[in-house]
Chain A
Amino acid sequence: MNATTGGVPFSFSRLLIVAGNTFTEAVRQKLFNFLLLLAVGLVASAQFFREFNFGSSELKFISDFGLGAMVFFGSTLTIAATAQLFFSEIENRTALTILAKPIWRTEFIFGKFLGVFAVIGVFCALTTLLLAGLLCSRENSLMALHPDAFPNGRLIHYGDLMVMGVLQWLKFGVLAAITLLIASFSNTNLYTVVMSFFMLVICHLQYLAHDAYAQVASLPLRLLVRMLGYVFPNFQVFNLADQVAIGSGLDAGVVLRVAGYALVYIAVIGGLAVYSFRNREI
Chain B
Amino acid sequence: MKFNLLALRPLRAGTVVLATLLIAGWAMRPLEDPAWQAVRAGQPALKLDSLQGALGQGVTVGLLGGFRAIAADFFWIKTNSVWSDYDLPATQTLIKLVTAIDPRPLYFWQNGARMIAYDMPNWRVAEAGGYDVVSTAMQQQIEHEQSAVAIKYLNEAFGYHPDSVQIYLEIGNVYLNRLKDLNSAAEYYHKAALRSDAPYFVARIYAELLRRQGRNAEAYDWLKKLYPTLPKPTPPGLVQPAKNQPSALEIEMAMAPVVLGRIREIEKELKIPEYQRFKP
Contact = CB atoms under 8 A, between A and B. Distances in A.
**Mutual binders A and B:** yes
A239 B69 CA distance: 11
Given A60-B105, A185-B13, A236-B36, A243 B22 contact: no
Nearest to A57: B107
B13 A258 contact: no
Interface string A137-171: 00000000000000100000000000000000000
Contacts, number: 111
B38 interface: yes
Nearest to A60: B105
Contacts of A229: 25
Interface string A34-75: 000000000000000000101001001100110110010000
A191 interface: no
A123 B107 CA distance: 31
A251 B38 contact: yes
Interface string A226-243: 010111111111011011
A26 interface: no
Contacts of A240: 35, 38-39
Interface residues on B, range: 35 or more
B277 interface: no
B161 to A, nearest CB: 11
Given A60-B107, A258-B35, 19 more contacts: A61-B73, A65-B70, A67-B69, A68-B69, A68-B70, A185-B10, A230-B22, A232-B25, A242-B66, A246-B105, A253-B34, A257-B32, A257-B35, A258-B31, A261-B32, A264-B31, A265-B28, A272-B16, A275-B13
Interface of B: 9-10, 13, 16-18, 20-22, 24-26, 28, 31-32, 34-36, 38-39, 42, 61, 64-67, 69-70, 73, 77, 80, 104-107, 199, 253
Interface of A: 52, 54, 57, 60-61, 64-65, 67-68, 71, 151, 181, 185, 201, 204-205, 207-208, 227, 229-237, 239-240, 242-243, 246-247, 251, 253-254, 257-258, 260-261, 264-265, 268-269, 271-272, 275-276, 279
26 contacts: A52-B77, A60-B73, A60-B107, A61-B73, A67-B70, A68-B70, A151-B199, A185-B10, A201-B61, A204-B65, A207-B36, A208-B64, A230-B22, A230-B26, A231-B18, A234-B32, A234-B36, A236-B36, A237-B35, A240-B39, A251-B38, A257-B35, A264-B31, A268-B20, A268-B21, A272-B20
